[in-house]
Structure 1
């Protein structure tokens, strides 16, 4: 810290707040600690009786908090993001699309192990709207050592920690199975639920096939929808382990590769995910009919950003995959199924 003449202070950083007092009208901070003095500030500072100022001594090895925050923003921010104005070394990241938030969690942890900087985000795989604040970065001290920023760059490299991936609506075929529905003994309640949920993401349902508990009939329905241009197949019914629940067998016999039959998500343990080429096929358990939020709500958004999920991706939901069945559901703004 050093004392200099105010008229010589342009470009220097204030070490302390400077108060402005107008008797009977105002008393508060006119210039905050950390403010970089500009040419137009000089006259104002002199009018406040400040012929001298205490400023930080310039050091080429130190970076001002605002410049450091801009560096971190540029280093870590990926696609479909807007940003707040910088304030006291802090910048907010704001989604400019309706999409899925993708966070490089491992690199985020490494970055936050560096002293004097931070990056805070919403959970990975969080559904966000345009205007949602998804992250914020800040430099902790007023001045930061350049070496800390170099360390951050070495960790992050060309990776971007925070991205919003816009949803890619798909053509959806619904295959509903069950003798009770096929023979019209009961009214199907699955189709409307699936239709409502996929249309929320802009998807188009190109049809619903009602099949009896017959492997060949179900397999043919899946293949027919694919031939019609379906980009996602949702199979409902027949997903339990009863002898007449043949939907998983039919999906396998369609030539699809089974990624998982079963998930550590409740509700949704009997979920099936398969791919026929790049086309996802989901076997959706009965809970989706009567639970507001299930495994289907968790996996669908990831499918709609063209993420090809693995067994490990599904297994990771075991930690946090238990829904609390709250009286008022706030998903995705809750702890359910965050990885």
Structure 2
């Protein structure tokens, strides 16, 4: 890349090699054209009004790509379905979600790209929920021009497979079972049903039926089987500890469901259970689910609705960040470190 001085009338289409400051007494003082700007026809009279008859421009070599073109190319290589790129400006492109959904990021390939000189690719955490038009990732080219070879390396890393994408959440029907003698006998009022209903509704799914049962293993198991036959998902609340009178885990197992998780390194939510009955998820939710603002359920539900399977390896990895800080000034989830 070389720098040379040219008459502004000859500079159209060239890359500005200096910041140009404009002063309008009493109105404006600052950079009107930044270094790296691609000079346009309409810029010429403005530059002349600033007293600039000659400007320094950059001349790219045959193997160099302007920062904006490089940023646009990089964005196209990494962006998958559900994302749209902004217009490149100052070597930067933002990737915004086209729809609500679960953000998927290949962190290993992300690191490989960021190890290359001259590029920066930042994303939100893998597995977070994003809304339409929310910025999920951003591409930035550090120098004014990037070697074409760097983009070739990025293309090889991507190998035609998107690095960042947004997976839509499916609309599912859920059956809800509230266990506990004290609720069933009317000694206390249930607080689980409205909480679980609101969490599902916020994700576009619904509870079709709510069943109240005492701590009876056989009755709970029968209800699980019945609701699994009519719904996409079954949620069972209460009775999840290892106390002798807490029979919900045993009831879930007795249906023949495959238990993939019992116990999670996430607080609140340690006594969480995930099982699969004829391919349908059955979730066991501990008592914290009715009073804690955020629990492991908030982390797991979006993944289930995005079609992902909850297994022990995934749950074990949540331990890094799995401790809720219980912020005294108000919960900011998901804009916090919990279960990231």
* TM-score, shorter chain, exceeding 0.5: yes
Contact 1:111 1:156 survives alignment (8 Å): no
Alignment of 1:269-284 (within 5 A): 269-284=270-285
Q: Deviations over 1:136-155 (max 9, x none)?
A: 11000111111111111111
Partner of 1:79: 81
Partner of 1:324: 325
Alignment of 1:1-339 (within 5 A): 1-23=3-25, 25-228=27-230, 230-327=231-328, 328-338=330-340
CA distance in 2, matches of 1:53, 1:187: 76
CA distance in 1, matches of 2:98, 2:294: 26
Q: SS in structure 2 opposite 1:56?
A: strand
CA distance in 1, matches of 2:271, 2:26: 71
Cα distance, 1:75–1:186 mapped onto 2, change above 3 Å = same
Contact 1:12 1:58 survives alignment (8 Å): no
- Give the Å deviation of 1:281: 0.8
Cα distance, 1:225–1:42 mapped onto 2, change above 3 Å = same
CA distance in 2, matches of 1:186, 1:46: 80
Q: SS in structure 2 opposite 1:318?
A: coil
TM-score (structure 2 length as normaliser): 0.93
Q: Deviations over 1:219-256 (max 9, x none)?
A: 1111111222x111100112111122221122122221
- Give the Å deviation of 1:43: 4.1
Q: What are structure 2's unaligned runs of at least 5 residues? A: none
Q: SS in structure 2 opposite 1:184?
A: coil
Q: What are structure 1's unaligned runs of at least 5 residues? A: none
Cα distance, 1:182–1:37 mapped onto 2, change above 3 Å = same
Cα distance, 1:261–1:145 mapped onto 2, change above 3 Å = same
CA distance in 1, matches of 2:254, 2:212: 18
Q: Which moved more, 1:135-144 or 1:177-186?
A: 177-186
Q: Deviations over 1:102-125 (max 9, x none)?
A: 211111111111111001111112
Q: Which moved more, 1:40-49 or 1:101-110?
A: 40-49
CA distance in 2, matches of 1:273, 1:25: 64
- Give the Å deviation of 1:48: 4.0
Q: SS in structure 1 opposite 2:15?
A: coil
- Give the Å deviation of 1:46: 4.1
TM-score (structure 1 length as normaliser): 0.93
Q: Which moved more, 1:71-80 or 1:182-191?
A: 182-191
Q: Superposition RMSD on alpha carbons, in Å?
A: 1.8
CA distance in 2, matches of 1:42, 1:71: 28
Q: Deviations over 1:88-114 (max 9, x none)?
A: 101122223222222111111111111
- Give the Å deviation of 1:301: 1.3
Contact 1:266 1:323 survives alignment (8 Å): yes
CA distance in 2, matches of 1:310, 1:221: 24
Cα distance, 1:210–1:146 mapped onto 2, change above 3 Å = same
Cα distance, 1:25–1:320 mapped onto 2, change above 3 Å = closer
CA distance in 2, matches of 1:241, 1:116: 54
Q: Number of matched residues?
A: 337
Q: Which moved more, 1:60-69 or 1:323-332?
A: 323-332
